[in-house]
Structures are given as C-alpha cells and as structure tokens.
C-alpha cells in the first residue's frame, strides 16, 4: 500500500566531473510501497544518481530527502543509518566468512562498543537467508557460491539494515531467465513491505514489467517520465535507444552456395567469474555478407566479439575458414584476417593520424600500403586534413573514423565493428553510414557489426541477429527485423 508522503525526494540534483555534467537537474519522488525505474543507455547518468543518493559521490547542487530530512552530501554510513540500503550489481562479500557470518555482520550495530552479536541476531540472519533463498548454503563461503547466490547475498545484506529506501543496481545482469524471475519476486517483496524502491537498469523490458513509473535519462538529463508504456512509446526515448525510424536497404542475394561459412560460431558460452555473459550463442557469417548483431547495452555483443578475437576464454566452437580458432592468440587471429575495431577505439593517442595508419599497414609492401592508404583517405577525407595531428586531439567522430580506417589498413577478410556510433553526433553518424554503404556496395569485404542503434545497423545488414540477456533470441533478414521486431525492440 502506498504511503502519502514520499520516502525519497530528489530535487535539482546535479553532479559535475570537471567540465563534464554527469547529472543535470534531476528530480523525482518515491513513496513507500512504490517502485521507480531509472533507465537509460550506458553513460546516461543513472548510476551516478544512485551513488549521489547513497553518498558515494557528493552532489554539486540539489536536495535529497529521506523521510523529510535532507541528506545530500552526508557520508555513506550516516545515510545508511537514516534508512537507505543498496543492492550492488557487483558482489562485495567478505570471502573468508560464511554466508551466515556475512549476514550477521550486516545486522550488527555500528558502534565499536557493541560488536558482539546479541542472541537474536543469528535467528534474524537465518530468517533473512531463508527469505532470499540462501538457507541451503549458510555454512559456505562466497568464493564457492554460484553467481546467483552471490547476488542473493547482496540482497540479504541490504535487507539486514531494514532500509526504508532500497536502491537496486542492474539486478538482472548475468542471470538466467529463471533466476531473473526469482529476483523480480524478491525485489517486488521490498515494495510490498512498504519500502520505496529505486530500480536502476538499462534494459527497458526488464524494468517495465516491474515498476510503477519510469524515468528515462540520457546524457545526464531527464528525457521522459511516466508509465512504462508511455516512456517506451516516447519518441525521444525510442530515438535514444533505437536511433529513429527503421529503414532497410536490400541488395541482391549473395551467393549462398552450400559449404562452410567464413565464420561459424556454435553454442559459445562466456563466463566473467560466475556471471554468464554469453549463453549458447550460435551464428554464422558468409563471405561478402554484412551481418548486424543488435541488442541493448549489456546484451553480450562486445563479449561475443572479444571471444571471436581471442581476447576472452570461451566454451563452444568458433571456426574461421573451416578451421577452429581454439588456442590461437589474438595476434594470430588478426594476422589470419579477422580485424576487430573495438568500441573503445584503442588508438595510439600520442601518434599522429598518419603514424596510426602506417603502423597498421606495416605488414604490407610499400606499393600496397600506399594504395590502401590512398583509398582510405578517399573514404574518410577528414583524415587527410588531420594527417599530422595527434590522435588524442581529434574529435570523437574523427577518432572513430581513424579507428575504422586503421582496421581497414590491415586489409581484413572480416572486419568486426563494435558500437561504432557510440556517443557520436548525427552529422558524424551520416558520414559513417555513407562510408559503410560504400564498403558494402563497392568491395567484397565481410563485416560483422554490433550496434544498439538499429536504425544505423539495419541499412547495412544482409542478416540480423538479436542478442538479449546473453542469448540470441531472433535471427533473420533486415526487412523481417523491421517488420517483426521493430516495435518490440525496447
């Protein structure tokens, strides 16, 4: 049941990191028995809002009231005593203590003079453990637990403080579908007990099924607020997540003669510690194809590309030109024709544009290198103007063009592009789109493109795979995606 007065009120919340405004004039209120979903792509500022409320960061401006008291700028321990609890995305247990001891420690008073647990503490710890599903593992230590139980332990520690306000950070990352359903019920239990819940996540679908209201952020600012349906239909939200109206550009069918694909991925799985980042992912790419892997941030696109490139260990099979890539180093894979342009770009910042490109083409004979360089400078004319400029002094869009040009300088058989549109202005997106169109229509290069922005990805796709929660949930042509998945992508 909802209480009348808000338990958590945020007004004019602002946080700057140097010249970057990470949070700008954010405000909302949550009553007891209510759950607010705070959503937005990576870098939108939602996690900063949560850290400001918890006192992990100090705001530059704004008010944060808990049960009527302004706590803005208080140290974290005082905020916790006031009634704010947090369920961290990344588990932070005491690894030498058992599950029961971790929960008992969270139940102890804050005073150094009362460190001995009172008799009721163990009973209460066991009650909390049973509630979150940790009853069978009370005597085990955290390093021996599966990932889902580590997340349950974080929830138990938050419950131990009996908070009025509960902040839940990215609760479903790394969980299976059944585990996600269980955690949804546990989080819903906070609301049913009359607590105010702030659920922070980038995945709109997961949040929409649980919350009473949604506040969407982008680049530190509020862009929409209302019911989940209203926010998901909001044109600004859809533009932020999708990029605008979905269009496709078909081209004649490629030669699909029987035989081994250029790249063949079969039931690949990747674990980061105990978190499952990829679950039985299978896909293939044929020579000359442009294949887009789309999905929201955190779906597993980057992990997939890192596995192909030999940067992370995996189970399953990845075959390249008919041979397994297992055991090959990242350098050997690149020399074999798979060139990866990461979302972080990884340019040599103190080298000039020319030097970055020369370094990528050092394996080529001089004549071939000069020919490839001339072609790239024609593809990205701004790089000719910036040839003598250090890479770190380029704009974000220019750095992205240089990163792609550097990858192409290696004359790859397969070019992997990971989130090339991330953080770029519309005018730069158009230039990148034109360059990819030219590659697609005038060369025989094969491209595997990972994107959240489907309106950028689909015009350059012969086929599309949709990743969600570490699994491929859909595959087909770009035209079918627009018809079948366009309205349901969020």
- Residue 243's pLDDT is 57
CA distances from 456 to 218, 397, 422, 452 (A): 19, 15, 11, 9
Helix axes 177-192, 147-160, angle to 10 degrees: 10
Run of H or E residues at 374: helix 366-379
What residue ranges in 241-327 does DSSP mark as E strands? 263-272, 275-285, 290-294, 315-320, 323-324
CA atoms lying within 13 Å on the CB side of residue 278: 26
Residue located via tokens 């958590």: 8
For residues 70 and 55, what is the distance between their CA atoms, to the nearest angstrom?
12
| pLDDT at position 115 | 45
CB-based contact 278:300 (threshold 8 Å)? yes
Specify the pLDDT at position 490: 54
| Helix H or strand E encompassing 235 | helix 235-241
Alpha-carbon distance 470 to 301, whole Å? 8
256 vs 288: CA distance, rounded Å: 10
- Distance CA(424)–CA(308), nearest Å, equals 26
What pTM does this model have? 0.64
Strands across the sheet with 323-324, in order? 275-285, 263-272, 315-320, 323-324
Inter-residue contact 231 to 40 (CB < 8 Å): no
What structural domains and CATH numbers belong to the chain? 6-241 (3.40.50.300), 263-484 (3.40.50.300)
The pLDDT, as a whole number, for residue 299 is 83
Give 269's strand partners: 315
Mean pLDDT by 10 residues, the chain (490 residues): 80 89 93 92 82 93 94 92 86 85 80 54 88 89 84 87 89 72 86 92 75 89 89 80 58 57 94 84 94 86 94 95 93 93 87 91 87 90 89 84 92 92 72 86 90 84 89 88 66
Distances (CA, A) of 225 to 45, 222, 233: 15, 8, 11
């Amino acid at each position: 049941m909802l209480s009348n007065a808000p338990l958590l009120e945020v007004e004019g919340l602002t946080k700057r990191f140097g010249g970057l405004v990470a949070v700008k004039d954010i405000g909302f209120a949550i009553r007891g028995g209510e759950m607010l979903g705070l959503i937005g792509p990576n870098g939108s500022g939602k996690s900063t809002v949560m850290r400001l409320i918890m006192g992990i960061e100090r705001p530059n401006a704004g008010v944060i009231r808990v049960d009527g008291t302004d706590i803005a700028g208080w140290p974290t321990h005082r905020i916790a005593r006031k009634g704010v609890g947090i369920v961290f995305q990344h588990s932070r247990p005491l690894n030498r203590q058992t599950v029961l001891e971790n929960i008992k420690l969270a139940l102890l008073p804050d005073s150094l003079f009362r460190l001995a647990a009172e008799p009721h503490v163990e009973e209460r710890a066991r009650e909390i453990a049973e509630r979150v599903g940790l009853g069978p593992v009370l005597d085990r230590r955290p390093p021996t637990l599966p990932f889902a139980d580590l997340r349950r332990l974080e929830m138990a520690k938050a419950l131990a403080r009996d908070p009025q306000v509960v902040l839940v950070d990215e609760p479903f990352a790394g969980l299976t579908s059944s585990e996600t359903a269980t955690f949804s019920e546990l989080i819903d239990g906070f609301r049913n007990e009359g607590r105010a819940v702030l659920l922070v996540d980038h995945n709109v679908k997961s949040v929409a099924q649980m919350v009473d209201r949604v506040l969407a952020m982008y680049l530190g600012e509020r862009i929409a607020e209302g019911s989940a349906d209203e926010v998901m239909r909001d044109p600004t939200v859809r533009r932020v997540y999708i990029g605008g109206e979905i269009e496709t550009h078909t081209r004649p069918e490629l030669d699909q003669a029987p035989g081994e694909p250029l790249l063949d991925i079969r039931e690949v799985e990747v674990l980061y510690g105990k978190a499952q980042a990829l679950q039985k992912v299978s896909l293939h790419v044929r020579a000359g194809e442009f294949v887009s892997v789309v999905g929201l941030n955190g779906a597993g696109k980057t992990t997939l590309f890192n596995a192909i490139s030999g940067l992370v260990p995996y189970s399953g099979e990845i075959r390249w030109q008919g041979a397994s890539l297992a055991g090959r180093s990242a350098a050997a894979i690149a020399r074999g024709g798979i060139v990866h342009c990461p979302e972080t770009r990884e340019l040599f910042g103190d080298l000039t544009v020319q030097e970055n490109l020369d370094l990528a083409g050092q394996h080529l004979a001089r004549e071939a290198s000069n020919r490839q360089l001339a072609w790239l400078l024609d593809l990205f004319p701004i790089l000719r103007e910036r040839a003598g400029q250090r890479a770190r002094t380029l704009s974000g869009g220019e750095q992205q063009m240089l990163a792609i040009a550097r990858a192409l300088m290696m004359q790859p058989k397969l070019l992997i592009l990971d989130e090339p549109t991330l953080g770029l202005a519309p005018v730069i997106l158009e230039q990148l789109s034109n360059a990819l169109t030219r590659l697609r229509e005038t060369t025989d290069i094969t491209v595997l493109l990972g994107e959240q922005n489907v309106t950028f990805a689909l015009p350059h796709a012969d086929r599309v795979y949709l990743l969600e929660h570490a699994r491929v949930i859909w595959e087909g042509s770009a035209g079918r995606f627009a018809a079948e998945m366009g309205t349901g992508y969020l």
